[in-house]
Structure 1
Amino acid sequence: MKLALITDAWHPQINGVVTTLHELVEALGPMGVQVSVLHPGQFKNRPCPGYAGIDLAVRPYKALAAMLDALQPEAVHIATEGPLGWAARKHCLKRGWKFTTAFHTKFPEILKAALRVPLFVGYGLFRHFHRPSSGVMVPTHGVLDMLKSRGFQALKPWTHGVDLGLFEHHAQPLDIPELKGHARPYALYVGRVSYEKNIDAYLDLKLPGTQIVCGVGPLEEQLKSRYPKVLWMGVLPRHKLAKVYAAADVFVFPSRNETFGLVMLEAMACGTPVAAYPVDGPLQVLGGSEGQVQGGVLSEDLRAAVEGCQAVSRSEARQRAEAFGWPKTVELFVKNLVPISTNQTGR
């Protein structure tokens, strides 16, 4: 199968969407799927206003349309709702091609937090974007139910996975040179330092030991000055990040607006339990929707969740992560794809 994957999120951006798509592309090859990734780096682009580190394509329709026509794909998947996503949507509709989309990020919540755009406006726009999709892939049942209640259609579950080889299990927290001299216990946050992540809820805990942040974003300098005792490690290569995960005593996930939360799986794969709020992403990752939380603690009192993680074994965290291996994730993605046309017309 020849698949065109269009995404506004790709390297050198660092976020869960990029990680998921990168791992997906790597895994699709051995299954006989020939993937062509169309991303902002192939077009004239500029930084997203107010969101440093994310570049967006500028007026990409003409170039993207020519690339898609030249590729002659058998299936098209539009991963994001940015400029490339809208351009690909437009061309598929023009050609009469069927396509799938994905709902990776609660951008309406980001728009509300960053620009005070009302939620109904953001979700109205996104509902319009996804309306012609033959399948909107959604990572959790909670998000699927939420989108369904907002009028979205053709929703298809698509859980995400974690690289269990890269993120190795460690029965005891590692001692690593990068953290030498810093007091334990280590509490870790990994992710964008941005509006929608609710990172203040983590930083305000003022936990004993050392609080660590791995990531960058538009609020980074402001928060560094407000929380000088926090260890800010910036962006780390994946192999080094895996060691930091494994060194942590607890992983704190303060976001309330995630569709999934891949970083929680990465932490748990290394054996580090997760403290989080009982909301969509954590409920899916830790299994809390059925009352059987595994691999961490969910509580509206984030400090209580952190303290409760002392009783969660590292083997339990790893066991939960193993339920999210990549083979199942990739198989489900391929199952959700649709041919651009049943008789391949409209090219």
Structure 2
Amino acid sequence: MSLSVFLTPLRLATGWGPHPRLLSGIGVVMLILMRLTLGWHFFSEGHEKWRQGDWDAAPFFLNARGPLAVQFRQMVWDYDGSLRLDVDKTKQHFAVYRDKVAKHYGFDEAQKRQAQANYAKSIEGLEFILASNATDLEEYELGRKRIQDLKRESMREGVPSLAGQAETIRTEWRLKITPVLREIDALWASYQQAQTLVATTSQVADNGELKLGVPRNQFMDTSVVNRWIPYFDMTIGICLVLGLFTPIASLAGAAFLGSVFLSQFPPVTGLGSSYQLIECMACLVLAGTAAGRFAGLDFFFHAWLRKPLTPTAE
């Protein structure tokens, strides 16, 4: 009994669909081709993201327009710039990096003084950027408050036009703040470069370069997504191509593609995201038919796991 409880989830992971004899030969071939095609697509997409090294999901999330638009936008790291525009939080992050750099490379006293000078110069640069763009930042704050007010009003009164006004203000708001955030991003990059240059060539070679990174302000944002999505895509692709744990891989792929489709829902943005819906449905077909048991490793795993669960005559 205990063995059955343990092995049943594994059987489900390798396929619970109809017996292969219940499907026609042509249907089986089509399932195999579908599985291989989807698997290769997932793998190639993930590999390309991994090869680029600097792939960023932020532009996609920022352009979300579907029913999950708000959730996707909020997944962009520091979406509204509140962290980068906060001098105190930036000081804290830069100070932590300054101390980490000194410890990582093993700075001597002279190098520590230079690292401190770089820190002070960068904070002065941030304050100068904020002062130079004070008018735009003030309008930005007013726009952000207006968006929040319109959101509350549209939820309370159910007026679609209010949501449209909020979207218009949001677009203007992003245009207003984007140049400022670009300046700050350049400052962050310059700060990392300056601190790295304090280290000698041998210190960098022996210890490797230490990245400035970004402080996390929520559990899941693009700082995490950018790192793991390439591996997620490649893993799903490999599982589908090999026919390994196909139901799990297919359902994971369907959930991912379904969320992409909802973020760019066609009635709002046209038909550009329809192919994600088509592939999502195809993944569900693979999951529901145990497609990995046809010319896939799930056939062997399922047969091996089935034996301990088969009752034996006493």
Higher radius of gyration, 1 or 2: 2
Question: Which structure has more strand as a fraction of its residues?
Answer: 1
Common fold by TM > 0.5:
no
Q: TM-score, normalised by structure 2?
A: 0.22
